[in-house]
Amino acid sequence: MVRGIQVLGMLVSAYLIIHTLIQWKRGQGFRKTGLWLGLWVSVGILFAFPSLTTVALPVLAMENTVLMVVVVGLVIAYALAYESYQQATRTERKLAELAQNIGIRNYLRKAGGNPGDDDEE
Amino acid sequence: MTMTKNNGSIHVCIPACNEEEKVGDVVRGLRELELNLKVHVIDDGSVDATRESAMKAGAIVVEHPVNLGQWAALRTGFAISLMEGADIMVSIDADGQHNPRDFRMLVEPILNGEADIVIGSRFLNGDTPSMPRYRYVGIKIFNKLVQILTKKKLTDCLSGYKAYDVSMVRKIFPHLKEDQYGALEFLVTALRHEAKVIEKPVRMNSNSHSTKGKLRFGYNLLRTVIKQCFA
């Protein structure tokens, strides 16, 4: 019998799968889409067939299903947090570069130079 | 009087953030030297009248739309000096802690071909500069780290009063990775490229507004030095 939490889990997974596909249509890369889809489909399958977790228990050398889900969830959460941190760092670097280029371009415009020359960096 | 080589010019880069009270005096002090300098104030996202004060004093203002940090402002200054074909670039703090009268002493060794980088050292003139103890200790630690990495003994590797031969900057620039807190990366990279780095004693006006020496500043400098160990 399907429990309420399973239905909720599958609905959330379905929503996230659709959201990922929309992002793909908007131009998100194939690799990123594949990774996210893999994650959400796995979550959906685990909610639909919770007994599958018992198959993974001996593979991960764990005895308790709940503990396994918590540990695997934490590992995934840490990985995602790290990925977000890297993304934020890259964005910050790009913004800094952009701000510097704006400063130099405005300076060159005022000085009557050629704004296209500002790629020394 | 003009102090240039190869018909080039001397650029001064003053990174400034919310320094409306002091930046004008610094610019005027430099202009009084009558050295035909091109003084750039890099207004690093100030929310006060830094820009107006600098312009009124006769500086050329380059504006960052947002605050990017002192090193990013210096990088902008370097980029402009490279683009405009300057011979020498001098960096000086906007908070008035450096004395423009020491300017010639910093520039002359480069003009004479004796150095690629001249550091204005606050510790070579016999007096102990007035600064918080933690900052003093921090500078000593970073001097030691630079010495370990490059075998070059310095007394004030973190001084903001420096003169650079722009041809050397052109050589070093592509190797730099740090957007912020890159002063030590620059110095270590330059020394590894066999740049001639010397120090000259400079006078220091006490300044309580400086943010250098704060914990975050120290941490980020340490991070860049550690990166240099593996570079």
Using CB atoms within 10 Å of the CB of residue B214, give its burial: 0 to 12 exposed, 13 to 18 middle, 19+ buried. middle
- The boundaries of the domain holding residue A83 are 57-121
- Comparing C-alpha atoms, which of B196, B186, B199 is closest to residue B106? B199
- Whether residues A110 and A64 share a domain: the answer is yes
Task: Calculate what percentage of chain B has a pLDDT beyond 70.
Answer: 92
User: In sequence order, what are the residues at sequence separation of 6 or more whose Cβ sits closer than 8 angstroms to the Cβ of residue B31?
Assistant: B37, B39, B57, B58
In chain B, residues with a C-beta closer than 8 Å to the C-beta of A105 are: none
- Whether residues A24 and A72 share a domain: the answer is no
- Whether residues A111 and A72 share a domain: the answer is yes
- Whether residues A25 and A45 share a domain: the answer is yes
- Whether residues A31 and A67 share a domain: the answer is no
What token pair was written down for A60? 């991960």
- Whether residues A26 and A4 share a domain: the answer is yes
pLDDT given for residue A115 in this prediction: 45
In chain B, residues with a C-beta closer than 8 Å to the C-beta of A121 are: 75, 79, 173
pLDDT given for residue B210 in this prediction: 57
**Domains of chain B, with CATH numbers?**
10-229 (3.90.550.10)
pLDDT given for residue B8 in this prediction: 55
Which amino acid, one-letter code, is at B86?
A
Please, what's the b/e burial string for B13-45 (b: 16 or more CB within 10 A of its CB; e: otherwise)?
A: bbbbbbbbebbbebbebbbebebebbbbbbbbb
| Among the partner residues A96, A103, A117, nearest to B62 by beta-carbon distance | A103
The pLDDT tens digits for A54-102 are: 888 888 888 888 888 889 889 999 999 999 999 998 998 899 889 999 9
- Whether residues A101 and A61 share a domain: the answer is yes
Pure H helices in B59-113? 70-83, 103-111
The pLDDT tens digits for B41-67 are: 999 999 999 999 999 999 999 999 999
A112: DSSP letter: T
What is the predicted ipTM?
Answer: 0.75
Q: Is any Cβ of chain B less than 8 angstroms from the Cβ of A101?
A: no
Instruction: Quote the number of domains for chain A.
Output: 2
B80 has a pLDDT exceeding 90? yes
Sheet containing strand B10-16, edge to edge, reads: B60-64, B37-44, B10-16, B88-91, B162-165, B117-121, B197-201
- Whether residues A42 and A91 share a domain: the answer is no
If one compares A110 and A14, the residue with the highest pLDDT of the two is: A14
- Whether residues A26 and A71 share a domain: the answer is no
Task: Calculate what percentage of chain B has a pLDDT beyond 90.
Answer: 52
B131 has a pLDDT exceeding 80? no
The pLDDT tens digits for B184-193 are: 889 999 999 9
Cα B94 from Cα B99, distance rounded (Å)? 11
Mutation site, B38, B42, B46, B64, interface A, largest A CB count within 10 A: B64
For the question of whether the overall pTM of this predicted structure is more than 0.80, the answer is no
Q: Is any Cβ of chain B less than 8 angstroms from the Cβ of A91?
A: no
CA of B179, closest CA in chain A: separation in Å?
Answer: 7
| Residues B76, A96: C-beta atoms closer than 8 Å | no
- Whether residues A1 and A43 share a domain: the answer is yes
What token pair was written down for A22? 């929309």
- Whether residues A32 and A88 share a domain: the answer is no
In chain B, residues with a C-beta closer than 8 Å to the C-beta of A100 are: 64, 68, 72, 75-76, 79
Residues B76-87 have a mean pLDDT of 92
Q: Is any Cβ of chain B less than 8 angstroms from the Cβ of A63?
A: no
Q: Which residue in chain A is spatially nearest to B42 when comparing CA positions?
A: A103
Mutation site, B71, B80, B223, interface A, largest A CB count within 10 A: B80
A51 has a pLDDT exceeding 90? no
Q: Is any Cβ of chain B less than 8 angstroms from the Cβ of A88?
A: no
Report the mean per-residue pLDDT for chain B: 86
Top-ranked range on mean pLDDT: pick from B109-118, B178-187, B197-206: B109-118
| Residues A120, B62: C-beta atoms closer than 8 Å | no
B175 has a pLDDT exceeding 90? no
Work out the pLDDT band at B94, boundaries 50, 70, 90.
very high
Work out the pLDDT band at A16, boundaries 50, 70, 90.
very high
Of A9, A33, A50, at which residue does a domain stop? A50
pLDDT given for residue B167 in this prediction: 92
Mutation site, A97, A107, A108, A110, interface B, largest B CB count within 10 A: A107
Task: Work out how many CB contacts closer than 8 A connect A with B.
Answer: 49
- Whether residues A114 and A61 share a domain: the answer is yes
| Among the partner residues B60, B62, B68, nearest to A104 by beta-carbon distance | B62
If one compares A52 and A112, the residue with the highest pLDDT of the two is: A52
pLDDT given for residue A34 in this prediction: 95
